[in-house]
Structure formats: structure tokens, C-alpha cells
Amino acid sequence: MQNYRSIKTPLTDDLCASLHAGDMVLLSGEVFAARDAAHRRLQETLQRGEALPFDIRGAVIFYAGPSPTRPGRIIGSIGPTTSYRMDPFAPLLMEQGMKGMIGKGKRSAEVVAAMGRYKAVYFGAIGGIAALTARCVRSAELVAYADLGPEAILRLELVDLPVFVINDTQGRDLYEEALKRSKT
Amino acid sequence: MGPIREIDSKLITETVKGLFLEANTCLGADVLAALQISLAREESALGRQVLARMLENAAVAREESAPICQDTGLAVVFVEIGQDVHVAGGLLNDAIEEGVRQAYGEGFFRKSVCDPLSRANTGDNTPAVIHVEMVAGDRVHLTVMPKGGGSENMSSVSMLLPTAGREGIRRHVVEAVLKAGANPCPPVIVGVGIGGSIEESLILAKKSLLRPLGQKNSRDKRLNDLEQDILADVNRMGGGPQGFGGTVSALAVHVEMKPCHIASLPVAVNIQCHVARHREAII
């Protein structure tokens, strides 16, 4: 696709610093699908002083809970869930090395500040196009918390998932800039 | 009153199942048309790209019988049951729940219902949310509406001052949509319920979302005008598709109204994402 920059996970400080709000990105590589209940468990794991169930250094977390996989398919429909619900947990995970988040909707001031501090990026994926997004998933495997059903943590191998930089390491915000543009 | 007509509860189960299977995989013609119109109107190139992908997704979902969105929602069911109907062979609610259970199992839809405290998943997307209304006649009118959590979370009911008036209501609704931002997957449909009691205003707002897009509010010209004003306000905000910037933040605003208490002015806002799914059948 035109005007898209291709990047691959895991993400580094330099790569994150080179991404800017509004950038259109085709994201490939390993990401971890995790949402509400899984985040709570990740936090509890860290509070107990235990290791996380996957290596979070340089990792990208996709706030998503796919629909069940039909026989013979790689994954069901998949797309971003609303990100603010993971705001209470995101700074802690960035402190542990998480470099990217994929979701939809605005983040808290604390999360945006943490992105500057830990050199991490927040990407928006298009919500409600989950049959199409599933085509970017080349493999999916369970990582942890099978008992959470649709909220279990999955390791996904992505190829060219179109995402848009919402918040960058410099504190810019695509959503706010869009609203401001309309006022001028 | 006519003679009593028996309707087998199994027929209700089959119908509910079929409606949910279809609703979750085939986007309605009205939504497709609204997205096409928006694609022509959207001024932002990125916004147009987003809308085009929504249309492409609808085609893929239909072709593969895959869920349009991974969030196949809470199963909301509106039932209008003729008072000359007798449901035979089981309870009406049980028949509906069974239809939901079968559709979400066989359709490989996500089970998104859990215990509010333990958060343990119920495993089959039940219980459904069932609204039953008695009407004249000997038929059953079933409307199913899978309702996603992201847009539902951005919904609210407020008891405005009775003196707030039309402009107060207008500002309140626009503010609610602005506050929701990109969370409910814009372009959204804004369902507004004015009046009644607190719970009735919410049901009015939800039911307003069932009106086909592109259809005018024919019951009350004042509401039609209010819908157009709110829609223009919302689309001037600049959020656009997915909040990435643009001129189409909402596909439509639907307002329904009922008389209320002299001390009150309930205003409910029920936001619906662009994947506006509903199907109906009459038995």
C-alpha cells in the first residue's frame, strides 16, 4: 500500500522514536493478544514478583479477543477493543519493556506520559473490520490463561496489519490533532 | 379477539438462531448504502480509506460467513407478541435463549457474556437481553440486535433540567458523542431517547437504532429536525472515521420521544458502532 511504512516486531527505542502520530504503518511479526482480564492477571503476576508468561521486552500487545476459530482456519474474526480499559496496566507493562500497543480510542495522560518515558508507541487499528483483519494473521497459539476463553493471551504472527500511530514518544496525539484541525 | 393461535417454541428457537447467524455475518443493506454515501462525502483521504475497508470487510464477512466484528455482542432481542398467541412446547424466554445458544455455538461467534463480579464467562452468550411487548393480533415479531460492548460503554442516561429545552438536549447529545471519541468505532449511529421514565428513555434510545438508516423520522417533524441538527454538529467536530480525522463521524442520529414527568427530562444516548447489526422476522 502507498504511503505506508513497513515495520517488524520486536520494536526498539530507535524505531519507536522514529514513528510519529499520523504515520501509516504495516505491522508484521509477533504480537500478543491480551485484553481486560489478562491484564489484571499480568499485574497480579508482577505484584507477586513472578515472571510474565511471555517475554515482554520489545513486545507489542494487541488489545483483542478474537471470535472462535473455525476448523481448518488460523483464527476467527479479530480486531481492536477499546484501549482505555487497559490504561491502569499499561505503564507497568511499559516499565517491563513493552514497546507497542494496538487498540482503539484515547489513552489517559498517564499512559501518554509513560510512552514518552519508556519510548513506546500506541497504534490504532480499524475497529469493526475483523473478518478482513483476520487475513493478516498467519499463525495463532495460546500463551496463557486458557480458562479466560476469549480473553486468553495469544501469540499472533502478523503480516502487514495496517495500523496508524495515535500517540508517539513525543507526546503527540492523532485524535486531538484531528479535532483541532476541524476548528481552524 | 380472534381465536388463539399456537406457535411451537421450536419455531421461535429456529427463527432466533437464524436471525443471529445472519445479523452477525451479513451487514444490512441500509448500513452498506450509508457507508457508500459516506465514502463519497468524506473529505479526508485516510477517512475514505477507512470507510472503503469497512465495505471490503462486509463483503469478506458475507462471503466467508465470518463475524463482521469479533465482538458479536450481547444478544438483545425485542419481541412483539400478539395477545392471541399461545407459545406451545416451552417458555418463550427459554426458546429465545436456546436460539441464541445455538447461533453463537454453530456460528463460531464470540461468547462475550460473563458474571459481573467473578468475570467468569457463561460460555454460550446467554442470558440474552429480552424485551417483550404485548400487541394486538396473532403473530410474533422478533427483532435481534447483537450489541457490541465498546459502543455500549459510551452510552448514558441523564436527567436534564426540564427547562433545558431543545437546545439543551442538542448540546448534551453532541457532548456525549464528542466525549466518546474514537472509542465506539465511528462512524457511529447515535440513538437518542427523550422522555418517559429513566428506563423508558433508554429503551427508546435502543429501539431508535433499529430504524433503517436513511429513513426519516416520520412521526414528528420536530424530531426529524433535531436529528439533522445533531448530525451536522457531530460531523463538524472533525473526528471522522475511527477518529483519525474527517467529516463523517456519524452515519445518522435517531431520536425517539415519549411524554415525561413535569419535573423531569430524561435523555438517553445509546451509541451504536458502524457495524449496526439487526434482523427481524414475523412468525
Q: For residue A175, which residues of chain B lie inside 8 Å, CB to CB?
A: 181-182, 239, 243-244
Q: Are residues A130 and B57, on separate chains, in Cβ contact within 8 Å?
A: yes
Which residues of chain A carry a pLDDT beneath 70?
A: 1-2, 184
Using the Cβ of A135 and the Cβ atoms of chain B, whether some distance falls under 8 Å is answered with yes
CB pairs under 8 A between A and B: 146
Using the Cβ of B246 and the Cβ atoms of chain A, whether some distance falls under 8 Å is answered with yes
Q: B60: part of which helix (H) or strand (E)? A: helix B45-64
- Using CB atoms, pick whichever of B72, B183, B246 lies closest to residue A67: B72
- Using CB atoms, pick whichever of A36, A128, A175 lies closest to residue B69: A128
Q: What is the pTM of this model?
A: 0.95
B229, with CB counted inside 10 A (0-12, 13-18, 19+), is: middle
Shared domain check, B188 and B123: no
pLDDT value of position B243: 97
**Does residue B221 belong to any structural domain of this protein?**
yes
Shared domain check, B216 and B101: no
Confidence of residue B1 (pLDDT cuts 50, 70, 90): low
**Does residue B106 belong to any structural domain of this protein?**
yes
- Using CB atoms, pick whichever of A67, A132, A182 lies closest to residue B109: A67
Domain end call among B79, B113, B147? B147
Q: φ, ψ for residue A33 (rounded to 5)? A: -85, 125
Which residue range(s) make up the domain with B81? 5-24+68-147
Which of the residues B38, B70, B177 would you substitute to probe the A interface, choosing the one with the greatest number of A C-beta atoms within 10 Å? B70
Shared domain check, B15 and B123: yes
**pLDDT tens-digit readout, B233-280:** 999 999 999 999 999 999 999 999 999 999 999 999 999 999 999 999
**Does residue B61 belong to any structural domain of this protein?**
no
Domain count, chain A: 1
Domain count, chain B: 2
Residue of A nearest to B246 (CA): A178
CB contact set of B212 (below 8 Å; sequence gap of 6+): B28, B30
Q: Are residues A128 and B273, on separate chains, in Cβ contact within 8 Å?
A: yes
A45, with CB counted inside 10 A (0-12, 13-18, 19+), is: middle
CATH of the domain at A35: 3.20.130.10
pLDDT value of position A2: 66
Shared domain check, B116 and B173: no
pLDDT value of position A181: 83
Domain end call among B147, B182, B198? B147
Which ipTM did the prediction report?
0.94
C-alpha cell at A156: 499472533
**pLDDT tens-digit readout, B104-127:** 999 999 999 999 999 899 999 999
Distance between B72 CA and the closest CA of chain A, angstroms: 8
**pLDDT tens-digit readout, B163-219:** 999 999 999 999 999 999 999 999 999 999 999 999 999 999 999 999 999 899 888
The runs of H, that is alpha helices, within B107-220 are: 149-152, 165-180, 198-208
